[in-house]
Amino acid sequence: MPIEFPIRDLPLELNVDDAVEAAYGEDLDWIADKLRRNVSVLVECDKQVVTWLYAALRGRLRDPDAGRPLRCRFVSGQPRRPEGSDDSPQQQQQLPSSLMQLMIREITDLVRSAEPGTVIVIPHVDLLTTTTRSGLSMEAKEVIALVYENPEVLLLGFKDPEFELPKTMESVFTAKRAIVGIERRKLTRVILQREARKFGVEHFDPFSLYKYCSGLNVVRLREILEQFHDRMDYDPRNPEARTRLFGEIRELTRGAELDVPKIDLDEDIGGYKGVKERIKKDILDLLKHADGMDTEDKVKQVEELIPRGMIFEGPPGTGKTYFAKAIATAIDATAIVVSGPEMKSKWVGESESNLRNIFTRARRSAPAIIIFDEIDSFAQRRGTYTGSGVEHSMVNQLLTEMDGFRKDELVFVVGTTNFVEALDDALLRPGRFELKIRIPYPKEKDRRAILQIYRQKFDLVLSDELFEHMVRKTSGFVNSDRRTRFSGDHLYALCRGLARQSIRKGKDHQLNEEDVNEVIGDTFELSKPNAQEEEVIAKHECGHAIVATLLDKAARPEKVTIEGEDEMNAYYTSFDRDSVGIITTTARAEADIMVAFGGRVAEEVCYGEISSGDQSDLHQATRLARIMVEAWGMGASQEFCYEETNEGFRRRRLSDHREQQIDEEVDAILERQRNAARTLLEEHKETLEEMAKLLLEKRVLERKDLKDFFKDRGYDVDWREKKLTVKDEQGEVVEA
């Protein structure tokens, strides 16, 4: 059950000063101690809390019981008239005209007249020293020169996390303290009893509220909570009221420019069962588990296990960003989508500043997910790119920001990329982008699920036969030269095209295969074989399957397809390698070579010539024959042609005569198996033609289809079926 904190232990009343003290008291003590030791301090915090933090610090520094008292001089920018001045136009013209000039003048007076025991408080160091695209502004140069003028001066500066100070200015401050958000353990100090009763009767779970306010400063948090004073107290009979209240708080904390996506991981994303299970197992289930813990220590243990950085890798259009947004929906997080190329700037420091601002926004609107689209555009492995050099600084800044996460902050970073191998190694180590999930092109069952979602979304009237035709039609390549297959984006475009087709042809029009083919042809530049080429491909693959089926020592065919799901192969025959064991004998190796020749020989038998599609088969057969002779001693000579080195085995230098012998032995093996395959397929040519016809019709032949095909034609084939072995507790086989 969740953590239950007694409401009676919460404060009854709390003003802003008390809230600041309760939330940041330890930070204020640390800053005051540094100042008493004559150490200048830079405080990084929201502008909203600067005045309150200064007031609390001033009280501490004045207290003689806490140590050496210090006097604070606050740079307010208020004009100070010299003694004896009047309101004449001449006197008014002598006063600085802008707030910046007033503050610079005030800093000048304070630095030059500073006395021991005086702290000069600069509330807007960042605004005074903001850089321009070409370098430091005139005001920044003046301020930096002033603070270096008196090395004995004691400074207390405040800056917003979104701004970066020039290094020369930052080095003035020996110590730095970041006061960003509020720690979870201090949340119960700044919530009133009457506010907590909106969430529970006698107890409430502060962790449920904390995930929506971890990035807020305490002043902003108090402003939000005070808006709900007039709400009814929690009624266990109406738990929906508490859910609505959390929703309203979330609306106030997420920021006006950010949205929480509305993408359900299961309902809005079709297929990809493995990807969804990985996301749930490694992220969502752990977060739910943490919500159910009854002690803070148990929550922390679970939080240590949750990866805060994720890499989604895969081809374009497969839904990498969509999956990230679905995670955001599941945890009620804002999603900040950042384009990698747009992050880079030619101006010095601006790219790093862009990154810093994004992380600041994410923390303030937590829970949040930062999605770096095309992260490889700036986070490539250092030393491998030839860019302007800004990429190196951006990688360092990204690492700094990710290392700065608190474990109780629900801020996640997702990087999407097509080339995970190009990413900097430092990003992929544990603690950063430690969770890598591949999102490939959708396979048949994935395409079916995706098309079903779009079928309902666009209200497409499709028969089941036409729907299955769409599933099969989108199995190949969109562009075979670029190895681009149908992705989720392509399926979306197809369904949109069909919806437009329905509108154009009228509501009574029934969509058919011609419409599907027309939309695919108009929308995509398909690179596919014509009917004659497809027939050659079908007979090629069936040649492999028939040889493998009828040859006793060969592995049985598992699947024959001309609409492959593999990302690199649209047409292939797969085999059940387990059916032949793990030991490769001479007969087994020769059978594998003969199967490899099956496709090539099938083309010769049917057409009297071969095509270029046999390249990989020929390579496989030649490689295996050479291994038989050189490594396994299955040729005329038993000689082992390799030698062992520190890097492994490598081929030895052999005499020209021996090289010629090896070539002749390899050629003999290849020729013998090619002739054997030809004899077999010539004998069963009719079967080859019938199987190719069936394959062209069904597009895919599974193991059951193959078994039925050969059985119907009177073949007695040993398919070497796998058996399920069941053992008892002692390990004895009781069923097989």
Quick check: pTM over 0.75? no
* Nearest CA-CA partner of 350 in 358, 662, 171: 358
Query: What b-and-e string marks burial along 143-162, b requiring 16 or more CB atoms within 10 Å of the CB?
Result: bbebbeeeeebbbbbbbbbb
Residue 736 lies in a domain: no
Cα–Cα distance between 555 and 578 in angstroms, integer? 8
Which residue spans within 323-421 are E strands per DSSP? Answer: 334-339, 368-373, 411-417
Residue 732 lies in a domain: no
- The answer to whether residues 331 and 469 belong to one domain is no
Given a cut of 70, whether residue 95 has pLDDT beyond it is: no
- The answer to whether residues 510 and 565 belong to one domain is no
Q: What is the CATH number of the domain that holds 510?
A: 1.10.8.60
- The answer to whether residues 164 and 298 belong to one domain is no
Q: Are 281 and 274 in contact (CB under 8 A)?
A: no
Band of pLDDT at residue 91, cut at 50, 70 and 90 = very low
Q: Domain boundary residue among 505, 523, 541?
A: 523
Cα 568 from chain centre? 24
* Nearest CA-CA partner of 702 in 581, 563, 554, 602: 563
- The answer to whether residues 708 and 562 belong to one domain is yes
Own/partner contacts of 417-420, CB < 8 Å, gap of 24 or more, are 417/311, 417/312, 417/313, 417/374, 417/375, 417/376, 418/313, 418/314, 418/315, 418/316, 418/374, 418/376, 419/313, 419/376, 420/311, 420/313, 420/376
Band of pLDDT at residue 255, cut at 50, 70 and 90 = low
Query: What b-and-e string marks burial along 452-488, b requiring 16 or more CB atoms within 10 Å of the CB?
Result: ebbbeeeebebeeebbebbbebbbbbbeeeeebbbbb
Pick from 79-88, 537-546, 570-579: least confident: 79-88
pLDDT at 358: 83
- The answer to whether residues 306 and 340 belong to one domain is yes
Cα–Cα distance between 268 and 450 in angstroms, integer? 9
Band of pLDDT at residue 668, cut at 50, 70 and 90 = very high
- The answer to whether residues 595 and 702 belong to one domain is yes
- 3-class DSSP assignment, residue 254: coil
- Spell out the residues 6+ positions from residue 68 whose beta carbon is closer than 8 angstroms to its own: 36, 117
How many domains does the structure of the chain reveal?
5
For residue 435, the cross-strand partners are: 310
Question: Could you count the other beta carbons within 10 Å of the beta carbon of residue 703?
Answer: 16
Band of pLDDT at residue 522, cut at 50, 70 and 90 = low
pLDDT at 404: 67
Cα–Cα distance between 80 and 34 in angstroms, integer? 30
Which residue spans within 39-114 are E strands per DSSP? Answer: 41-44, 71-74
Residue 260 lies in a domain: no
- The answer to whether residues 612 and 672 belong to one domain is yes
pLDDT at 528: 63
Given a cut of 60, whether residue 384 has pLDDT beyond it is: no
pLDDT at 236: 86
Cα–Cα distance between 540 and 572 in angstroms, integer? 9
Given a cut of 60, whether residue 735 has pLDDT beyond it is: no
pLDDT above 70 covers what percent of the chain? 85
Question: Could you count the other beta carbons within 10 Å of the beta carbon of residue 70?
Answer: 21
Given a cut of 80, whether residue 264 has pLDDT beyond it is: yes
Q: Domain boundary residue among 438, 469, 489?
A: 438
Tell me phi and psi for residue 546, to 5 degrees. -70, -45
Q: What is the CATH number of the domain that holds 53?
A: 3.40.50.300
- The answer to whether residues 150 and 240 belong to one domain is no
Cα–Cα distance between 736 and 733 in angstroms, integer? 7
Average pLDDT over residues 564-587: 72
Residue 34 lies in a domain: no
Given a cut of 80, whether residue 459 has pLDDT beyond it is: yes
What's the pLDDT tens digit per position in 18-40?
Answer: 999 999 999 999 999 999 999 99
- 3-class DSSP assignment, residue 509: coil
Average pLDDT over residues 261-290: 87
What's the pLDDT tens digit per position in 146-158?
Answer: 878 777 889 999 9
- The answer to whether residues 704 and 568 belong to one domain is yes
What's the pLDDT tens digit per position in 183-217?
Answer: 888 888 999 999 888 888 888 888 888 888 888 89
pLDDT at 562: 82
Given a cut of 90, whether residue 416 has pLDDT beyond it is: no
Residue 430 lies in a domain: yes
Residue 178 lies in a domain: no
Tokens matching residue 677? 């395959």
pLDDT at 580: 72
pLDDT at 721: 66
Average pLDDT over residues 255-266: 78
Find the helix or strand (DSSP H, E) in which 557 lies. Answer: strand 556-561
Average pLDDT over residues 521-544: 79
Band of pLDDT at residue 407, cut at 50, 70 and 90 = low
- The answer to whether residues 558 and 661 belong to one domain is yes
Residue 3 lies in a domain: no
Question: Could you count the other beta carbons within 10 Å of the beta carbon of residue 113?
Answer: 10
Q: Domain boundary residue among 472, 490, 523?
A: 523
Band of pLDDT at residue 727, cut at 50, 70 and 90 = very low
Half-sphere exposure of 459 (CA within 13 A, CB side): 3
Which domain, by its residues, includes 555? 531-712
Helix 656-683 and helix 615-630, axial crossing angle in degrees, nearest 10 = 130
Given a cut of 80, whether residue 711 has pLDDT beyond it is: yes
Band of pLDDT at residue 726, cut at 50, 70 and 90 = very low
Average pLDDT over residues 347-364: 74
- The answer to whether residues 588 and 617 belong to one domain is yes
Band of pLDDT at residue 511, cut at 50, 70 and 90 = confident
- The answer to whether residues 289 and 224 belong to one domain is no
Q: Are 291 and 207 in contact (CB under 8 A)?
A: yes
Residue 229 lies in a domain: yes
Mean predicted lDDT score pLDDT of the chain: 81
